[in-house]
Amino acid sequence: MIVSKLPPTETMQRAVRERDKSFEGVFWLGVTTTKILCRPGCPARTPKPENLRFYPTVAEGLAAGFRPCKRCRPMQRVGDAPEWVRPLLAAVEEDPTRRWKDIELRAAGFEPVRVRRWFQAQHGMTFHAYLRARRLGAALGKIGAGGDLLHAGMDAGYESASGFREAFEKLFRLTPGQARDSRALVVRPLLTPLGTILAAASEDELVFLEFHDRRALETQIQHLARRMGAHYLPGDNAILQQIELELEEYFAGKRRDFDVPIAWPGSEWERSVWQQLLAIPCGETRSYAQIAQALGRPGASRAVGTANGRNRLSIIIPCHRVVRADGSLSGYGGGVWRKRALLDHEQQAAT
């Protein structure tokens, strides 16, 4: 049971105009002048707004008489890595410390320029920068756990202590010694029917889950890193894999509650509000006033709203289930349209 609510038309038009790939999977567009069905990030010439038709699924676009674009391939599953790069990704996962030179990429059948462009588009960094961040992330984890500085650098693939220190300081802006009190949080984007969501986790707990276009996202990320004494690194781990699977089950209507272990640093008041959010059953809502009343502070509706907005685990801690006293929807960091979509989805799943 996948949510099929469309974002506001102006939001979709902006996404098409900016070729925003983060909206892939949220909607597809049909171009009336060519009868072509495309993804939001299609590299073809941008159509005029009046020639666009939007659909929540590929099937609906095809049923309306549009044929798949040969450039952006809307029939291909969203989020799948193309066939040509999968062997390279598998090799990286098998040995993240390996240093790939361009000559080695070519020998393995990969064109370095193509690899660089794909990683830039998918991860916001080149292939070599991605590998470097992975190696340094592994080193940070060992240092934070009390490991020897030199051995951590050598294990990460660096041939000298000076080379390790220079690369480490450039990425993290702190010395390996200062990292003793720092934690590594692995971060990667996850694709959902409502758009890209950014997830970050330690080896033990999920610490961050927010839609990519949430208001003040960067401020939240930085505040959390300071509060936890942590740094973010691209990559993957068992916690991220678990939340990815649980989100798939949630959007398919097969899951109402989440089992992934979470970390939710906050003030005593914030945590008490978040605990109340977790108590709201799937398919139901509560008002800000009701939560304040449950906490023994009937006049604290505004304070409840503030704590609600500081939740960093979207969907998991269901701040979208809080509404105004009259049942209408108020602000939501991921957009009111997503809040409506999540509530509609949960009400359908609960029946």
Tokens of 135: 């190696």
Q: Which member of 38, 42, 69, 72 is catalytic?
A: 38
38 assigned to active site: yes
pLDDT of the residue at 91:
85
69 assigned to active site: no
Closest CA to 76 of 25, 35, 145, 36: 25
Domains annotated for the chain, with CATH where assigned, are 9-68 (3.40.10.10), 83-181 (1.10.10.60), 183-351 (1.10.10.10)
Residues of the chain short of pLDDT 70, as ranges, are 1-5, 59, 63, 75-80, 121-125, 132-182, 215-216, 234
Closest CA to 333 of 209, 243, 223, 237: 209
pLDDT of the residue at 347:
86
DSSP H helical ranges for 173-264: 217-228, 238-251
Which residue has tokens 């949220």?
26
pLDDT of the residue at 303:
92
Q: Which member of 42, 69, 72, 319 is catalytic?
A: 319
Q: What are phi and psi of 68, to 5 degrees?
A: -60, 135
pLDDT of the residue at 314:
93
